[in-house]
Amino acid sequence: MDVAGKTIAIIGLGKTGMAAAEFFVSKGARVRVTDEKIGELDLSLLEGVEVRDYNDGILVGVDLVVPSPGVPPHNCILVAAREKKIPVLSELEVAFRFLHVPVVAVTGTNGKTTTVTLIGRILSEAKKRVFVGGNIGVPLISYVNGPQDDEVAVVEVSSFQLLWTDTFHPYIGVLLNVTQDHIDYHGSMAAYREAKESMFIRQQKDDYAILNADEEETEVLKEKLVSQVITFSTQERPLPPCLYLDGDSIVYRTTSNSEEVYPLSMLKIPGLHNVENFMAAIACARLLGCTQQEIERAARSFTGVPHRIELVAEIDGVKFIDDSKGTNCDAVKRALETFSEPVVLLMGGRDKDSDFSVLVPVVTKHVKTLIAFGEARERIAAAFGDKIRLISVPTLKEGVKRAKSEAVRGDVVLLSPGCASFDEFQNYRERGMKFREWIKEDSYDQMG
């Protein structure tokens, strides 16, 4: 892919957009940038680019459009680009065309960051040179602008990034799960799933696809693939090669019917969903030459990643759990199923056209009080009706105040919002950090 002398328009100047701009400048392209909040951004570190207002005038004479992941397909500039037949490629697709090392790509609705981080930890334990990034940490396009001197790149990839790809296919691809999310972005569940599956459809016969056998759609997807498939399951024993639960152990069975047994006791992070994540990580690590001993050592030292069902405080016998990354209904379900204690659940934020009613069974089983906050609070309240004790408040800060007054010794206060954070916060990380700050405030008066 030769971009020297080409005019590239970059839409959105978050971390990915800034990295893309720097990359294209370094390759000799003419770069234009814009953002909805262009007047509020500090662009002093961005050299050699043309800054434009946020409208389709940026497209005049453009050879390629690169949108940041948060820019939806119905965005006016992207709509205009397609009408003008201007190619639109994601940063992920561009980076892949310049990548010289094998790539492991992990996607799915939930568990991506945990699984990517765990795979990276195992490879590091095995003394392999590994880049870990993508949708978390360093964008892949920043990596390909460097020496690329690692043995493998392990990246988290989102449906937003995959939407604008046409050649991207990893050496090892992992699809953890696909549940309802981002319908406001993709327009339908079918379109969301199609974006997730696209990288597997393009894999070659020497590539590997690691898939969740507990999802009905997996069998349909397998029929479309030419890559080598490994499945994992916590509910059944699939045909080998596969990983499955057997009592208190994970069994990895190969096509030759040899077996490796991994004790669940090595896992320090709770929940059946993390067993699934670990199964996928085992499969990746073994394909990349790690030993069982190296995998077990890494697992025993891995305590998870921030804002994912993370115990952040225990005050007067009440556990406070930060699951701010739980931005969809399936994530809330997985978080609730982790606890046997009564839960005071903080749920809310900016709705993503989710069907909150799917949570009624699990919430009524685990939750003593549901505190709905933010823009989505009325839709959440409507979904539950009188099936649960529910308190509605305008902000998370007020929600934390009410949760502290509702919880008693032996309870869990769980922030698992099931929604995006953008009504109050820049991202889920800021939301999680504010939650931690507010639960540790001594006086409720400080929270008003």
Q: Are 120 and 154 in contact (CB under 8 A)?
A: yes
Question: Can you give the three-state secondary structure of the chain, one letter per residue?
Answer: CCCCCCEEEEECCCHHHHHHHHHHHHCCCEEEEECCCHHHCCCCCCCCEEECCCCHHHHCCCCEEEECCCCCCCCHHHHHHHHCCCCECCHHHHHHHCCCCCEEEEECCCCHHHHHHHHHHHHHHCCCCEEEEECCCCCHHHHHCCCCCCCEEEEECCHHHHHCCCCCCCCEEEECCCCCCCHHHHCCHHHHHHHHHHHHHCCCCCCEEEEECCCCHHHHHHCCCCCEEEEEECCCCCCCCEEEEECCEEEEECCCCCEEEEEHHHCCCCCHHHHHHHHHHHHHHHHCCCCHHHHHHHHHCCCCCCCCCEEEEEECCEEEEECCCCCCHHHHHHHHCCCCCCEEEEEECECCCCCHHHHHHHHHHHEEEEEEECCCHHHHHHHHCCCCCEEEECCHHHHHHHHHHHCCCCCEEEECCCCECCCCCCCHHHHHHHHHHHHCCCCHHHHC
Backbone angles phi, psi at 314, to 5 degrees: -130, 115
| AA letter at 295 | I
CA 186/CA 146 separation, integer angstroms = 33
pLDDT confidence of residue 447 = 37
Whether cis (ω within 30° of 0) applies to the bond prior to 241 is yes
Q: Specify the domain boundaries for CATH 3.40.50.720 within the chain.
A: 7-88
CATH classification (class only), 310-447 = alpha beta
The matching CATH number, chosen from 1.20.1110.10, 1.10.10.10, 3.40.50.720, 3.40.50.300, for 7-88 is: 3.40.50.720
pTM exceeding 0.85: yes
List where CATH 3.40.1190.10 sits in the chain: 93-300
CATH 3.90.190.20 residue ranges in the chain? 310-447
- Find out whether 313 and 407 touch, Cβ atoms under 8 Å: no
- In CATH terms, is domain 93-300 a member of 3.40.1190.10? yes
Task: Please tell me the predicted confidence (pLDDT) of residue 394.
Answer: 98
Round to whole Å and give the CA distance between 252 and 149: 31
Q: What tokens does 326 get? A: 């739980």
Residue segments in the chain with a per-residue pLDDT below the cut of 50: 443-448
